[in-house]
Chains A and B, each alone.
Chain A
Amino acid sequence: MKINRRQALGLSAGAAVFAAAGFRAAPAVADAAATEVAIKEFTGGIIPAEAGKLTLKTPEIAENGNTVPVSVSVESAMSGDDMVESIAILAEGNPNPGVVVFSFTPMSGAAAATTRMRLAKTQNVIAIAKMADGTFYMDKKEVKVTIGGCGG
């Protein structure tokens, strides 16, 4: 039998620790520059590797822009240097690009997290993983927020 998420919630041990205070308030309307500032703040100026171990899952088109599911995971042994310390999620086109920072410990077992976010309009969603060895991985997906309803 597959264990589904509902059942898993009851069993879960090392779930991710949420750290919503990971971002400082940015200018009222985010743009590419504000997002860049937020990325630099998270990476300490290091440019993240674009390709790699990080997988960001978002819908191509949001069914409801008010609550868009987003999942992020990083292939990692979760020990020693191959250890994910934290993952930041940013929304390039929101008034404030910072959405959430997930922090992990070796007890987390796996670097994976799911949340929901509000997207004001069509934009890029960015996820960056900070590794224990000081490297960073990044993935970016466009999520379209549409009026909908005239197709089919």
Chain B
Amino acid sequence: MFSRREFLMAGAALSAIAGSGLAGKWSRAAAQQALTENDLLDFESFGNVTLVHLTDLHAQLMPVYFREPSINIGVGEAAGLPPHVTGVDFLKLYNIEPGSPEAYALTSDDFVSLARTYGRMGGFDRIATVIKHIRAERADNMLLLDGGDTWQGSYTSLQTKAQDMVEAMNSLAPDAMTGHWEFTYGAERVQEIMDALPFPFLGGNIYDAVWNEPAFEAYRLFERGGVKVAVLGQAFPYTPIANPSWMIPNWSFGIREEDVAANVEAARAEGAELVVLLSHNGVDVDRKLASRVTGIDVILSGHTHDALPEPVIVGKTLVIASGSHGKFVTRLDVDVQGGEMKGFRHRLIPIFSDVITPDAETTALVSRLRAPYEAELKRELATTETLLYRRGNFNGTFDDLFCQALLEVREADIALSPGFRWGASLLPGQTITVEDLHNACAMTYPAAYRSTMNGETIKAILEDVADNLFNKDPYYQQGGDMVRVGGMAYTIDPQAEMGSRISGMTLLRTGEPVDPAKDYVVAGWASVNEGTEGPPIWEVVEEYLSHNPVVRLEDNRSVRIAG
């Protein structure tokens, strides 16, 4: 049964995660009190429209641990700005007490002990409680918007080809969604789901690849609280580059800034008084977009998994970042008068799973969706003594484990694991189940390839990915992290230009420099190329765990950051 945890913090002030309006610092609850459900849901309604933003759930129906990154370097104009602020600097920026629930939810410092204190976050039935609470309060004033990356990332979503997530989301009655990983189920499946969705899948930047014309509905007008609200959808612009294009051969993406501007104008011409961009661009791209396209009041920004306790304000546009994996739901109340946003009240609501009462109806739904797979989900593979997590610009322990498995099971010199930002964390002492493993790798192109590459090619790959992450122009960034490398050390200068960021590539096995002309055996997974051969990554990792039932990882010191 559900046990309610006491959130007592000796000597530390607890603050509710609430933005107090325009650029205000977080408001504070009284010190030394237990965090209650009311503290999390409390919100003095404001204005005439309430936007509720849920994004990048990555198919996590159950509460999870999720460690935020300790390294998230910003380049160019975004350097030093949120979300490129981590740890103590983040706490200072937003006036958050170290060791507090918000510090646990938003940063990585002291993660393990805080996780043991405050417990898992998210859980679809807790999210349902929050959304139903807001809906009860705001009824006809509310829009629920799903920012995408909702259908992928778990064992059950992969087994059901997203049907579990579609049913779960439908139960919350969203008003619109956009997408990214959704497209990795292939065009046919996406179309099939879309045809049955009781709400629009918006994507003004998705074109028919042959005819070079819009293929998806760009925006939908809603009336809420007497206000005409336009919701524009912006899918992840680089879906056919970061993910397999052969799965969606007839769809072309891109930022298409001119189209966003044209759609904003068209929506305004149709009478929209509030314009909302439901975006899967990522925060840096949306910050630039907001500075160049006028007329957008709110950008609900997904993709880069940043959780920001206050809106980023660009001109007259609010950029809202609502985190990932079900850890947060954003509630944004705005007041619209005479076709203009006059004010707002914002709250990034943390979903502390031990504080928020699960919605019984949703708990039952989730149980039903998971029931056919329960036995397999629970199957135990190993135990970890190391905190396993993924987020961070250069490495995460979960990928260290994957790289170890690839090196050993696939007998490779060098292992590559993609810089995905999804995947839950596991605490030291936890059992690794099939569900846990799949939370880090459930996807539709899991083949673990084994091939030969020379040193020059390996460097070219690293340079290419580094430029996707650290290009000074956000429009050229793809929003993932650096490809994770096993068996090889290297130095990276994020501020350098493409082609000169990577140096000092060294084969760890021999301690010798990687020779540009010499061939190496490279094992990796999640290639975007059609026809990639190899066992699914989860089989490789499962085999490794069968020989290594206790996971104990050394600190990864193989990536050196220069500059």
Contacts and interface: CB of A to CB of B under 8 A. Distances in A.
A6 B526 CA distance: 36
Contact of B461 (A60, A69, A147): A147
A6 B475 contact: no
A9 to B, nearest CB: 9
Contacts of B418: 149-152
B253 A151 contact: no
Interface in A96-141: 114, 122
Contacts of B473: 60
B468 A5 contact: no
B468 A151 contact: yes
Contacts of A150: 242, 416, 418-419, 461, 464-465, 468, 480, 483, 526
Contact of A149 (B237, B498, B527): B527
A146 B498 CA distance: 11
Interface in B200-254: 209, 211-214, 236-238, 240-243, 245, 252-254
A52 interface: no
Contact of A61 (B420, B476, B480): B476
Contacts, number: 94
Nearest to B417: A150
Interface residues on B, range: 35 or more
B450 interface: no
A6 B213 CA distance: 9
Interface string A54-83: 010101110110000101000000000000
A60 B236 CA distance: 13
Contact of A152 (B214, B243, B460): B243
A144 interface: yes
Contacts of B464: 146-148, 150
Most B Cβ at <10 Å: residue of A57, A147, A148, A150: A150
B15 to A, nearest CB: 33
Nearest to B462: A150
Contacts of A151: 238, 241-242, 418-419, 465, 468-469, 478-481
Contacts of A57: 258
Interface in B505-535: 526-529
Contacts of B252: 63, 69
A64 B248 CA distance: 13
Contacts of A71: 212
A114 B210 CA distance: 12
A132 B236 CA distance: 41
Contacts of A5: 211-213
A122 B252 CA distance: 19
Given A144-B476, A151-B468, A151-B480, 8 more contacts: A5-B213, A63-B241, A146-B467, A150-B416, A151-B478, A151-B481, A152-B236, A152-B421
Query: Nearest 8 A-B pairs (CB), nearest first?
Result: A151-B480, A149-B528, A151-B478, A151-B242, A148-B241, A150-B483, A147-B464, A5-B213
8 contacts: A6-B211, A55-B258, A60-B475, A69-B212, A147-B461, A147-B464, A149-B529, A152-B421
